[in-house]
A and B are shown apart, each in its own frame.
Chain A
Amino acid sequence: MLDSILPVLIFSALALAVIGAWRRVRLWRQGRSSPVPILKGLAAMPRRYLVDLHHVVGRDKVMSNTHVATAGGFVLAAVLMILVHGLGLAQGVLGWVLLAASACMFVGSLFVARRRRNPPARLSKGPWMRLPKSLMAFSLSVFLITLPTVGILPEDFGSWILAVALAAVLVWGLGEMFFGMTWGGPMKHAFAGALHLAFHRRAERFGGGRSTGLKALNLDDPKSSLGVETPSDFTWNQLLGFDACVQCGRCEAMCPAFAAGQPLNPKKLIQDMVVGMAGGSDANYAGSPYPDRPVGEHHGNPHGPIVAREGKALVDAETLWSCTTCRACVEECPMMIEHVDAIVDMRRFLTLEHGNTPNKGAEVLDNLIATDNPGGFDPGSRMHWAADLNLPLMRDVKQADVLLWLGDGVFDMRNQRTLRALVKVLRGAGIDFAVLGNEERDSGDVARRLGDEATFQSLAKRNIATLSQYRFQRIVTCDPHSFHVLKNEYGELDGHYEVFHHSTYIAELYEAGRLHFKPWKGGTVTYHDPCYLGRYNGEYEAPRNVLRALGIEVAEMARSGYRSRCCGGGGGAPITDIPGKQRIPDMRMNDVKETGADLVAVGCPQCTAMLEGVVDATAEIRDIAELVADALVTESDPHTQPTAEARIAIKEVAS
């Protein structure tokens, strides 16, 4: 009896799935166009799934194996089921393989079930709680209906009641796995995820590559608004990407703003985008809400505003402005969703079309427009900090091996110490370097992260024009934000440079034997990875190599390297300053405290400022350049001081 209804059930489910898929594709196609190579993408998809995605998933070995068993078992079982039970190709080994696949899937689903027994807070509940049962229903029923096929059981074993029961279970399984996949059930992630991998907007990320620069906005397109106002303003493959979310909450667990109690949860944000794309309210969302923001009060539709000018729409503006753009969510996402791109897209609209950059945001942008620096300082005072250093200016020397990019830290007394230390190091190594001096402008990082693409492009173009007048081998900077922007975001505007973070450059100089250090006499040291150096640019080793060269054994924080916790200073977050329950830098200094370190080495002016702002910190904050400068063994250089002087206060000013 089953034999006769199985094909009906299977093909009905498949038909419904195709209809669902078509409807889903229509939802995605509401988005703006975005040319991607369709066939090439599809061809690359299996590898992207098996290698790149599983590289992320594999950080959790149990979950990774569970997924391999369950998903692998399912894909194989589903295909074979169609062949064996749908088309009746029951000959030979196929049945046995199907039996094995479903058994494998069943074992996997037991692990899925186990994970759901005491699920961590980051996992969404709701329909996701039934998924392990559905997986078991599918795999078990397929297993059972295949037993007669391979002859383990007689063709007509059991009674019709048993057959009906089995069919019912199978319908449940098929419903979840095929119908649910395209009609918005938990299995949607497999369908959308696979296509998302195929049509990903940052194909460079696959195969071990890195793509972290924001994509330029066409400011001259008269047909479209600037940035994303409604869900349909995203590109279609961004919408597709949102749909790929498995709500595993790894992003949520890593998000510094969420941990600080600011109204942001990257997972919820992505789910809100899904709600907006399909239309409706967030009432059915079954994960952690935005801190302090109840679920069920927001709603949206594909063509309605995401952020209401007044009252509530899909997402509150505070949610978008809470993001530090640290990329911890993106780094963590097994589906390789691009949260930060989406947030900046939406910020662009708020800033460029509404002029609604909160708190100090508008002032900072005004400053950047008027003075080319975020603090609104006299642009002619950029070199005041170095009045006694006689730094060679590019305008005078025209060419140098190294162009030292100073960044806006020139206006900050704390960063001036880092810069002076770096100058001392470069001089100690006998480097031919020069600076742009008053010709340098803000790199545009903050403007861009605050959504002011116009100001970013204006700054970037003028910086590129300035740089084009001079000859240099490479740019070195102690500011990872400038580093990232110069290296990864000026390219789209035709500025192509070899850019080094100072830690990388110092590591190179040390390797080349151009720097010599006195042995380290201080206490325990930990290292804080700046987001824009680490996650954005993959530089985790050079700073550690430098510290090792200084004789320092780094006491690593639990969250370091690609999982480093943001200092809270990126993305203009200190400027938009959205209140939470605690401050991100406080949490970071607690991470430091746990290592017992009495010094935390950093490599970013922003991190330095944020971490030094922590009250009652247990560790001193020093830039790597400062540590190197302190340890430097130099010949009598007129710009350095005798080594007998050891303490900080004097050094900073005098070196």
Chain B
Amino acid sequence: MAFEALFQPIEIGKLTIRNRVVSTAHAEVYATDGGMTTERYVKYYEEKAKGGCGLCICGGSSVVSIDSPQAWWSSVNLATDRIIPHFQNLADAVHKHGGKIMIQITHMGRRSRWDGYNWSTLLSPSGIREPVHRSTCKTIEEEEIWRIIGDFAQAARRAKEGGLDGVELSAVHQHLIDQFWSPRVNKRTDEWGGSFENRMRFGMEVLKAVRAEVGDDFVVGMRICGDEFHPDGLTHEDMKQIAAYYDATGMVDFFGVIGSGCDTHNTLANVIPNMSYPPEPFLHLAAGIKEVVSVPVIHAQNIKDPNQAQRILEGGYVDLVGMTRAHIADPHFIAKIKMDQVDQIKQCVGANYCIDRQYQGLDVLCIQNAATSREYMGLPHIIEKSEGPKRKVVVVGGGPGGMEAARVAAERGHEVTLFEAEGSLGGQITLASKAPQRDQIAGITRWYQLELARLNVDLRLGTRADEATIADLRPDIVVLATGGQPFLSQFPEWGYSENPEESLVVSTWDILSGAIEPGKNVLIYDTICEFSGVSAADYLADKGAKVEIVTDDIKPGAAVGGTTFPTYYRSLYEKEVIMTSDLALHKVYREGDSLVAVLENEYTGALEERVVDQVVVENGVRPDEALYYALKEQSRNRGQIDVDALYAIQPQPCLAEEGEGFLLFRLGDCTAPRNTHAAIYDALRLCKDF
């Protein structure tokens, strides 16, 4: 049997898990209303259980005490008995599909924010500031230590009474337990600091109190890191000693192991490795822990593919694989393996849209799967065939919005034709994938290619659709997702011309697509500060150019998320790319063989110049509206989307109306430049009722 190791059940404590795949704890940012789990939360986990996931550990950083703020990330609040009935709903939803569910419980100590909600005074063993959240804190007192130990026990009791299958004590990501462990943060000289035993004491007392409260037939695990990767932090050998120490108590039922500490931006990026990392980069650390403990070890970090998971399990490195982002991208991951539909798995590409939203306190969403966490709204992961009339649907544009529209319409059973002017699908995803370390983003396109082929969508690649070609197909519905073009014409002073011979500036698209040869001495002006600018900088530097990236924003790449800008910075600094902020591109002019870029300081108005041989401008996308306006008047609905219906996930009313001619909708950047998720979300919610 294929994937035999993956489908081998395992006992954790007295609990049987049906397979070796775990959705590990992450902050969902779905719990609201004082930290009570919502319908959205329950459905999100139910979908994973329905899809076959063995074990879900929910509620990353769910708090046990009132002074560990939960509201910033809408995490679950276990500090009150009010949570118990909510847990019962959650447990039932998962159990009814044969899955198991536990929750991570923690006190975050200094790793939070104090400037809101209860305005909590944050606590830490030695009152040392945490840089990622810029959080200051007080030195915890003995009374508070014992209160929090008691809070842990009560939180575990609430999880048990709510019918959950276990709790995971978070001693990772620099929460309070591992703040006590780490000599980097714990400078105490009393019995809670100093020696190994003293530093272990808080965690040990928590473990004892929890175990005493819940007894032997409830799973209690610990999530730890395998190496803090700080010179003054805990090393792998330290972590092995710690794991063995707790394991020896017999009170821990499993260990979850993560590589890297995360109290700096740079280490944080390791914790949720984005696409620049190799597969399972920190497996060796988890395997090292497994060597010294007697209970199952879970490891999650960049495990996304069933073959990879099978290989890891067969190798015996760990006992269970965490495939958390893999399940955010496709909660039916296991079901598709079992259905022999491995090719239909929507595989996580490591874009980290999910986690980067979470760090901003926004709900976790998937860049490529708009149904994830929107199950409660009725957005389907599996599109039902329509029982209505079979329609002829024409989609123009093969970027993410167009591909999703074509996929969903084809799944509905319609006859779909997709036009793409370029020779391949992908749109801006294709451009994005050209940058160093960003090639995996093309996985989004790869999945659509497979799906559109499976669904027999008529792909017209290399074909620019116009009014006539569309009319020839006599469509019932036309969906425009034609995207746009780099917006270089906004300021005439930049010297942009449609004639490449005359234009003084080029776009990041020109560079990434290879249409324009990289210069030797290049200035990139990036006012957008998302991926494209830093990607172009990285690309140019990789080709040997001297690069300066300039922005009028607060820093280059300012809008790139917290787990991704560090990997760009590592690459850019290593290639000696100069990053300059607070300067706007005022003017470009030619002087001899060179170009002079005049930059204006945002705050003083002072001008300065750069003499370069290439100026690359990233000023976002200007929607391509020509085809839309050419078709608008002919269409039955004059191109209008009923936003009430759209936002309510209801069918567009015009679909039910009889009439001659076609309905016209537009999606994605050809409406207004947004992002991949926006395009896919609009396509899904619009087309799911075709």
Q: Is the A/B pair a real complex?
A: yes
Inter-chain CA distance A416–B335, complex, in Å, is 12
Q: For B50, list chain A residues within 8 Å (CB).
A: 641, 645, 650, 653-654
CA–CA, A381 and B17, complex, Å: 14
The answer to whether A652 touches B339, judged by C-beta atoms less than 8 angstroms apart, is: yes
Cβ-neighbour of B97 out of A413, A414, A417, A654 (below 8 A): A654
B503 close to chain A: CB less than 8 A: no
- B8 CB within 8 Å of chain A: yes
Q: Given A414-B340, A650-B335, is A384 in contact with B97 using a C-beta cutoff of 8 Å?
A: no
Do B338 and A638 touch across chains, with their CB atoms under 8 A apart?
no
B18 touches A413 (CB 8 A): no
How many A residues face the partner with a CB closer than 8 A?
A: 27
CB pair B382–A388 under 8 Å, yes or no, is no
Contact, CB under 8 Å: B340 / A653? no
CB-CB under 8 A from B16, the residues of chain A are: 387-388
**Of the candidates A384, A414, A645, A647, which one forms a contact with B7 in the assembled complex, judged by CB atoms under 8 Å apart?**
A384
- B239 CB to closest chain A CB (Å) equals 31
At the interface, yes or no: A465 with Cβ under 8 Å from chain B? Answer: no
Q: Which residue of B lies closest to A385 (CB)?
A: B7
**Which B residues are in CB contact (< 8 Å) with A384?**
7-9
Residue pair B338, A653 in contact (C-beta under 8 Å): yes
Contacts of A640 in B (CB 8 A): 96
Complex Cα distance, B335 from A654, in Å, reads: 8
- A387-B9 in contact (CB<8A): yes
CB A375 to nearest CB in B, in angstroms, measures 7
Rounded to whole angstroms, the CA-CA distance of A155 and B7 in the bound complex is 93
Is the Cβ of B384 less than 8 Å from the Cβ of A416?
no
Contacts of B2 in A (CB 8 A): 413
A389 on the interface (CB 8 Å rule)? yes
Within the complex, what minimum Cβ distance (angstroms) separates A615 from chain B? 13
Interface residues on B, range: 20 to 34
Question: Does B400 belong to the interface (CB within 8 Å)?
Answer: no
Q: Decide yes or no: A388 and B7 within 8 Å by CB, A413-B1, A413-B338, A653-B338 being known contacts.
A: no
Within 8 Å CB of B335, what residues of A?
649-650, 652-654
Residues of A within 8 A of B52 (CB): 653-654
Contact B51 A411 (CB under 8 A): no
Contact flags A403-424 to B (C-beta < 8 A → 1, else 0)? 0000000011110110000000
Whole-angstrom CA separation of A375 from B338 in the bound complex: 18
Q: What's the nearest-Cβ distance from chain B to residue A108, in Å?
A: 57
* Interface status of A217 (Cβ within 8 A of chain B): no
The listed residue with most A CB atoms (<10 A of its CB), out of B16, B95, B339, is: B339
Task: Report the bound CA distance from A650 to B383 in whole Å.
Answer: 12
- Asked if B279 is an interface residue, CB under 8 A from chain A, the answer is no
Distance from A435 Cβ to chain B, minimum over Cβ atoms (Å): 15
User: Complex formed: what's the CA distance from A384 to B1 in Å?
Assistant: 12
Docked pose: A417 CA to B332 CA in angstroms? 15
- Is the CB of B432 closer than 8 A to any CB of chain A? no
Chain A nearest CB, measured from B515 CB (Å): 40
With beta carbons under 8 angstroms apart, the residue of A387, A416, A646 that contacts B17 is A387
Q: What is the bound-complex CA distance between A645 and B375, given in angstroms? A: 12
Contacts of A381 in B (CB 8 A): 4, 8
Instruction: Say whether A647 contacts B98, CB under 8 Å.
Output: no
- Chain A residues whose CB sits within 8 angstroms of the CB of B96 once the complex forms: 638-641
Give the shortest distance, in Å, between B683 (CB) and chain A (any CB). 20
Tell me if B340 and A413 are in contact (CB < 8 A).
yes
Convert B36-53 into 0s and 1s, putting 1 for each residue whose CB lies closer than 8 angstroms to a CB of A. 000000000000011110
Is the C-beta of A370 less than 8 angstroms from some C-beta in chain B? Answer: no
Given A653-B335, A653-B338, is A638 in contact with B4 using a C-beta cutoff of 8 Å?
no
Task: Enumerate B337-391 residues with CB–CB distance to A below 8 Å.
Answer: 337-341, 382, 384
A-contacting residues, B185-239, CB 8 Å: none
Asked if A641 and B18 sit within 8 Å, CB to CB, the answer is no
Residues of chain B contacted by A649 (CB below 8 angstroms): 51, 332, 335-336, 339, 341, 382
* Chain B contacts for A388, CB-based, 8 A: 16, 18, 98-99
- Compute how far the CA of A416 lies from the CA of B340 in the bound complex, rounded to whole angstroms: 12
CA distance A639 to B98 in the complex (A): 8
Which residues does chain B contribute within 8 Å of A285, judged by CB atoms? none
Confirm or deny: A648 has a beta carbon within 8 angstroms of a beta carbon on chain B: yes
- Interface pair B332/A650, CB less than 8 Å apart: yes
What residues of chain B lie closer than 8 Å to A375, measured between beta carbons? 1
A377 within 8 A of B: yes
Question: In this assembly, does B19 line the interface, its C-beta being within 8 Å of a C-beta of chain A?
Answer: yes
Determine the chain B residues whose CB is within 8 A of the CB of A654 once the complex forms: 49-52, 97-98, 335
CB contacts (< 8 Å) of B384 on chain A: these are 646-647
Q: Does B595 contact A (CB under 8 A)?
A: no
The docked-state distance in angstroms from the alpha carbon of A385 to that of B8 is: 8
Residue B547 interfacial (CB < 8 Å): no
By a CB distance below 8 angstroms, the chain A residues around B8 are 381, 384
Contact with B along A368-397 (1 / 0, CB 8 A): 000000010100010011011100000000
New A-B contacts (14) at CB < 8 Å, excluding given A381-B4, A413-B338:
A388-B98, A412-B1, A414-B340, A641-B50, A647-B382, A647-B384, A649-B341, A649-B382, A650-B50, A650-B335, A652-B338, A653-B334, A653-B335, A654-B51
Question: Across chains A and B, which 4 residue pairs bring their CB atoms closest together, nearest first?
Answer: A388-B98, A387-B9, A653-B52, A387-B18
Identify 27 residue pairs between A and B in the complex whose beta-carbon atoms are under 8 Å apart, listed by A's number: A375-B1, A381-B4, A384-B7, A387-B18, A388-B16, A413-B2, A413-B337, A413-B339, A413-B340, A416-B338, A417-B338, A640-B96, A641-B96, A647-B382, A647-B384, A649-B336, A649-B341, A649-B382, A650-B50, A650-B51, A652-B335, A653-B97, A653-B98, A653-B334, A653-B338, A654-B50, A654-B52
